Amino acid sequence: MIGPDGQARRWGEHARSLARDRLLLFGTAWTLIAGILFFLLFPDTDSLVRVFWLFQPPLDLILAVCSWRVHRLATGPIRRFWLVMAGVGTLFTLGDSYQAALTLAHPERSSTTGGSIQTACFSIGLLAVVVAMLVYPHPNRTGRERLAFWLDSATLLVGGAVVAWCFAGSSDNPDILGTLVVAGVSICGTFASVKMMLSGNAPMHKLAAFPMLASAIAMSVGVFLGRFAHTELGPLVYFVRFLPSLLIAAGPRVQEILAHLEPAPFGDRRRKPYSLLPYGSMAMAFGALIVILPYGVDGRLWGVVAGLGLICALVAARQLVAFHDNTALIGRLREHETRLRHQAQFDGLTGLANRTHFHERVADALAAGRPVSVLLIDLDGFKAVNDTMGHAAGDALLVAVGDKLRATVRDEDLPARLGGDEFAVLLPAGETRAELTAERILAAFRTPVDIAGLAVPVNASIGVAGATPTDDVESLLHHADVAMYAAKGSGKGIWKTHVPALA
């Protein structure tokens, strides 16, 4: 496991590798040149649009080529995803190249909004990305977890649609188609962010995902800047609208570089158990509502209100799923706690109380001041069974002894296995009943145990000790131990009660 210092050092090495990459440096320089030309050529709109479209295809080509290279390095669903990205880059290259040629041939039709062919290529590419995300698998997920993921994703999609409707739905917006297309890019970028943050198995490293997500944000900012530019677009708006081409092309190139540097170059990591993105979508919709309220009641207002209501319903459904998840988790934790408590207090082989639990119960009984007796039981000849028949037979014999003890003692008595072939019984009674219980146990042991088709006798020596007012746990068990060894010394297979003379 890599510590914080090692991870920081590794990220520093990645940053240096990315900063020295010639293709990324070319894309950055190419974008800066376009930005400089935007400022130098302003306000010549025809020249600005020509630069805008002529500088697009090389960046689209980087997207296509690098995605294809990553596709060749990956396997499984990740490989299929990057193959789709390579196809998307190819579509963007063809559409933008056609639009650049069209702009040169017909300057009077110049606009940052593409024509029908460019828009078709762009829309098909976006649709392909969405489909690739939809079909990308979610391993090791329950049905409820998948439902929660789609509710979160739907919330963000509705939020993006609300913002798109707010800024593109007015009758005085001459660029409705372009605005909606760009809003679609923002929605896709948002969906990609959900995929990266929630799925835990995103098809790209987060360093590669950041520029691609930033491209959606930059594209949205470009749309809004253009929306509030009442006259001609300024050079800053052109540059902001051009910047996403660099960012979306940088993602695959970063992923290609990381594929040669990282042992796990894609998005395999622990997924977060929660997401704040749906609440961000709700805040975004409320912001859109505040923006359009001064314009009065119209179709945009009703669309935003409807979208906000749908977002609230989706968030409520998500909370209901989370409530069921939490309830199920609490139930599993309680079951686990019960299982751990049982493992801590009971013997795993016989199911009887273990030494720790037995000592605790003896201490509680002594503290209560009521009559207490203890039987200490040691099997005779158990080692011979282990040596001649194997440990499995020995374990079967121990289990049979535990069953006989449970069947012989009363409900208020506590049988226990202290370890090995040593057993004990706690009785909330005096020595007289303890001696009768010892006699019943020996009588039950006289019936042989069937192990692998053989009748195996059970022999034991039992020490009986009744508690005195001065006894504690250790002294009481010591007295029972002394009585048990006295029984063994007297011929085994019998019980003896502790008396001072045995010491």
Q: How far is CA 22 from the centre of its chain?
A: 37
Handedness of CA 493, 499, 501, 503 (dihedral sign): positive
The residue annotated as part of the active site, out of 60, 380, 413, 421, is 421
421 as an active site residue: the answer is yes
CA nearest to 469, candidates 374, 370, 375:
370
Q: Is 411 left (phi over 0), alpha (psi -120 to 50) or beta?
A: alpha
Tell me the CA end-to-end span of the chain in Å, nearest whole number.
Answer: 58
Query: Do the strands 449-451 and 414-419 form a parallel or antiparallel pair, or are they unpaired?
Result: unpaired
Could you tell me if 99 and 114 are in contact, meaning their C-beta atoms sit under 8 angstroms apart? yes
- Per the document, the length of the chain is 503
Buried b or exposed e, range 154-190, using 16+ CB within 10 angstroms: bbbbbbbbbbbbbbbbbeeeebeebbbbbbbbbbbbb
Handedness of CA 126, 128, 131, 135 (dihedral sign): negative
Question: What is the CB-side half-sphere exposure of residue 361 using CA atoms within 13 A?
Answer: 21
Helix (H) or strand (E) holding 416: strand 414-419
> What values do phi and psi take at 80, rounded to 5?
-65, -40
- Which are the catalytic amino acids? 421
